[in-house]
């Protein structure tokens, strides 16, 4: 497995870039690397570490290994608790691994007592204001503790305050540990790489858009950052980081789930930083961003890193929009019933539209994340942005407009079964409580059948697709206006209706 060339800032989006763990016994001068995939950010940042849980990172860690030392035995114990041990690979030129084992940490009280059965134990029990002490061999740790005392008496304690083990159970592992048995084919230290995947690490894009002017005169200043969360159960120090905008499919292993409380970040850790956002690079089916400098990602930390440099003066459209709530269902025969839904008051939504292209000041792939949109210093709303390729149009729903409302009503309907037609008139009433004029885009759906013609309203409404029409309607300040259309549906002779 190749490490990226640091001098060229190479991006290896699908290779296990190192997000290295630093072990004193195997420290290496080279930085560690990590490739971190987007997705699962909320789950990672708001939950405890889980082995096999949310978040996905590919890790490569440079090591110095002496295969001839300690009879070829080599162990690492500063691993994240969210590691997938089945993916761990130790490799190096001339290095041969004869055996490999992963030991789970066993700090849970119940697990410790189970492992201590047959061992000597000292137990304290509080009875009122009195503290009683008992010693013996632990026989059972189920439903309290069962001891055989030195005189042969068996004592059952249904509750206890504390216990002490004279000697820890054999094989007790305090931290997750990878153990390797190496073939001592040559003596002396040599370069090696430990590669693995781990959960508990995630990132997402965080954008800030500041708007000026209204309608088609809208201009936008857009800047993006990456929010990186580490709740893996391990510190990643002196680390080079590549962020990948993509979520490869993964198969859940259904392995053991290990929980751990969050640890405090080391006080002297280096903040991961960059003076400016890196240009994205294509990597197989995804896009990746490599930070130019190494830094630290302590366990329990959330860091903000440059992702998209500030783009100013981006053309945009601020639009008010209302949509018919009839859904996308397509009938298999004409719907001749008078009432089929879709009438009533409908929210008018505020939307922001722009095109992600170079000629408009953007043009870089935009990773998925949250967009916070401001009008000056006032928050207009927040929206989720999906992975957006260069050249794609973006529409963000920023929330309900307080001063605008709309009502849809079917005012007339008739069916001519012999002529195989039905006719309906729909009326939209728009109200503007603002002190300035507004334009609302009405998006309506013609749900009764696929063959239709507008008899009235074609001057305002235009066809968008097989079942949708839309109209941009201007409303004066503190006023209301009504617009209507009449549609005739027609079906073929071989189609029956209810």
Report the 10 Å Cβ neighbour count for 464: 12
Tell me how far apart the alpha carbons of residues 266 and 269 are, in angstroms, rounded to a whole number. 6
Rounded Cα distance, 493 and 451, in Å: 13
Question: How many whole angstroms separate alpha carbon 92 and alpha carbon 100?
Answer: 15
The yes-or-no verdict on residue 90 having pLDDT over 90 is yes
- Rounded to an integer, what distance in angstroms lies between the CA atom of residue 243 and that of residue 306? 11
What pLDDT score does 287 carry? 75
pLDDT tens digits, one per residue of 157-196: 988 888 888 777 666 666 788 899 998 777 788 899 999 9
Tell me the pairing of strands 317-323 and 438-445: parallel
- Of the pLDDT bands very low, low, confident and very high (cuts 50, 70, 90), residue 29 is low
Report percent pLDDT > 90 for the chain: 47
pLDDT at residue 441 in the model: 96
308-311 contacts at long range (C-beta below 8 A, 24 or more positions apart): 308/205, 308/207, 308/222, 308/223, 308/224, 308/225, 308/277, 308/364, 308/366, 309/223, 309/276, 309/277, 310/221, 310/222, 310/223, 311/221, 311/222, 311/223, 311/361, 311/362
Given a contact cutoff of 8 angstroms between Cβ atoms, the answer to whether 205 and 385 are in contact is yes
With beta carbons less than 8 A apart as the criterion, state whether 232 and 196 touch: no
* Partner residues linked to 433 by β-bridges: none
- Lowest-pLDDT range, 196-200, 274-278, 400-404? 274-278
Task: Round to whole Å and give the CA distance between 78 and 84.
Answer: 14
Least confident of 112-121, 259-268, 330-339, 413-422: 259-268
Tell which wins on pLDDT, 113 or 123: 123
Contact 72, 182 (CB under 8 A): yes
Q: Report residue 106: phi and psi, to 5°.
A: -125, 60
Give the tokens for residue 416. 């001519």
The full set of domain ranges for the chain reads 6-101+195-203+226-310, 109-165, 316-356+392-490
What distance in Å separates the CA atoms of residue 100 and residue 112, rounded to the nearest whole number? Answer: 24
Two structure tokens written together for 228: 């990186």
Does the domain made of 316-356+392-490 have the CATH classification 2.60.40? yes
pLDDT above 70 coverage of the chain, percent: 83
pLDDT number for residue 166: 78
Q: Which CATH number fits domain 109-165: 3.30.70.660, 2.170.130.10, 3.90.470.10, 2.30.30.520?
A: 2.30.30.520
pLDDT score recorded for residue 268:
46
Least confident stretch, 309-313, 337-341, 365-369: 337-341
Closest CA to 139 of 165, 157, 119, 111: 119
**Stretch 144-149: mean pLDDT, rounded?**
92
pLDDT for 314 beyond 90: yes
Question: In CATH terms, are 109-165 and 316-356+392-490 the same topology?
Answer: no
Closest CA to 277 of 289, 286, 287: 289
Nearest to 385 by CA among 395, 375, 400: 395
Residue 65 CB-half CA count within 13 A? 30
Instruction: Please give, one letter per residue, the 3-state secondary structure of 397-452.
Output: EEEEEEEEEEEEEEEEEEEECCCCEEEEEEEEEEEECCCCCEEEEEEEECCCCCCE
Sorted by sequence, the CB contacts under 8 Å of residue 447 that are 6+ apart come out as 326, 327, 329, 331, 335, 340, 342, 467
Q: Could you report the per-residue pLDDT of 230-252, keeping only the tens digit for each?
A: 999 889 988 999 998 866 665 55
pLDDT classification of 11: cutoffs 50, 70, 90: very low
Find residue 399's DSSP bridge partners. 350
Q: What is the pLDDT of residue 109?
A: 76
Q: Where is average pLDDT lowest: 4-8, 28-32, 153-157?
A: 4-8
Task: Report pLDDT for 266.
Answer: 44
| Residues forming a β-bridge with 261 | none
Report the distance separating Cα 332 and Cα 347, nearest Å.
Answer: 29
Say if residues 60 and 1 touch (Cβ distance below 8 Å). yes
Alpha-carbon gap, residue 409 to 324, rounded angstroms? 11
């Amino acid at each position: 497995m190749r490490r990226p060339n640091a001098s060229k800032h190479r991006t290896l989006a699908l290779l296990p870039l190192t997000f290295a763990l630093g072990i004193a016994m195997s420290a290496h001068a080279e930085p560690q690397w990590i490739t971190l995939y987007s997705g699962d950010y909320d789950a990672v940042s708001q939950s405890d570490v889980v082995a096999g849980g949310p978040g996905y990172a590919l890790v490569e860690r440079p090591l110095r290994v002496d295969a001839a030392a300690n009879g070829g035995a080599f162990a690492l114990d500063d691993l994240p608790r969210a590691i997938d041990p089945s993916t761990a690979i130790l490799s190096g030129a001339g290095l041969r691994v004869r055996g490999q084992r992963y030991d789970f940490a066993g700090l849970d009280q119940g697990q410790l007592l189970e492992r201590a059965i047959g061992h000597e134990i000292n137990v304290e029990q509080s009875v009122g204001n009195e503290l009683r002490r008992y010693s013996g061999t632990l026989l059972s740790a189920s439903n309290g503790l069962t001891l055989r005392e030195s005189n042969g008496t068996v004592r059952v304690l249904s509750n206890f305050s504390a216990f002490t083990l004279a000697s820890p159970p054999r094989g007790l592992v305090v931290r997750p540990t990878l153990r390797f048995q190496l073939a001592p084919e040559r003596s002396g230290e040599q370069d090696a790489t430990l590669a693995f995947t781990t959960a508990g690490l995630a990132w997402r894009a965080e954008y800030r858009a500041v708007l000026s002017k209204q309608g088609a005169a809208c201009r936008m200043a857009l800047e993006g950052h990456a929010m990186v969360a580490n709740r893996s159960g391990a510190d990643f120090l002196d680390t080079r980081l590549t962020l990948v905008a993509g979520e490869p499919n993964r198969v859940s292993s259904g392995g053991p789930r290990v929980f751990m409380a969050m640890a405090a970040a080391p006080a002297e850790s280096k903040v991961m930083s960059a003076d400016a956002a890196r240009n994205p690079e294509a990597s197989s089916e995804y896009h990746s961003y490599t930070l130019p400098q190494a830094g630290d990602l302590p366990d329990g930390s959330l860091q903000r890193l440059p992702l998209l440099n500030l783009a100013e003066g981006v053309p945009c459209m601020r639009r008010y929009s209302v949509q018919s709530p009839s859904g996308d269902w397509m009938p298999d025969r004409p719907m001749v019933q008078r009432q089929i839904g879709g009438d009533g008051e409908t929210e008018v939504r505020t939307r922001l539209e722009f095109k992600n292209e170079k000629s408009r000041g953007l043009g870089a792939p935009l990773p998925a994340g949250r967009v916070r949109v401001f009008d000056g210093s006032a928050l207009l709303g927040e929206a989720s942005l999906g992975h957006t390729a260069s050249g794609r149009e973006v529409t963000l729903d920023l929330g309900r407009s307080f001063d605008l409302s709309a009502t849809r009503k079917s005012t007339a309907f008739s069916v001519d079964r012999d002529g195989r037609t039905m006719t309906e008139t729909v009326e939209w009433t728009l109200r503007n409580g603002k002190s300035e004029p507004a334009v609302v885009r009405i998006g309506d759906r013609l749900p009764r059948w696929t063959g239709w013609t507008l008899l009235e309203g074609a001057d305002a409404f235009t066809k968008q697709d097989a079942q949708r029409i839309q109209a941009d309607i201007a409303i004066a300040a503190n006023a209301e206006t009504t617009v209507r259309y009449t549609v005739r549906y027609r079906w073929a002779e071989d189609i029956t209706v209810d």
